Amino acid sequence: MRPLPTGEPFVHRIAVRPSDTDRMGVVHHSRYAVFFEEARTELLRSTGLTYSDFEDKGKFLVVTDLSMKFRRPCRQGDVLEVECRVTDASYVTVSHSYVVRVAGREGIAVEGGTRLACVGRDGKPERLPDGLLSVLSLA
């Protein structure tokens, strides 16, 4: 396992597909939650861990807070660069921030954040898995 990157944000690139857009060819607001999840998942994978590693042991990370601020539209055919950072972590929760830019264009398209809490199969809060605690430097 590798610790989460510090300094520069983790950047995940996503090509906007027709199914991501509304009839005007603009990315539908609901898709950004999926883009955030993709970036968060790939950030974790960059440490050598996957969500499946935790889920197989009965630990689940559920979104408890989601925010988005829309600045500029993204469109079908754009390639998005989704920056993801861990902004806060405790023994039960982890928070991320996101900045979405269109590759080759200046300015921010969307900003957002999530907080995830660890729960067991019964849905009750539990301590984050040891592997995640160690990459967050909480172990």
Phi-psi region of 64 (alpha: psi -120 to 50; beta: other; left: phi over 0): alpha
Q: Which of 22, 65, 88, 130 is catalytic?
A: 22
22 classed as catalytic:
yes
Beta partners for 119?
60, 125
**Sheet strands (E) in the chain:** 10-15, 60-70, 79-89, 93-102, 110-119
Q: What is the DSSP letter of 25?
A: S
Active-site amino acid positions? 22
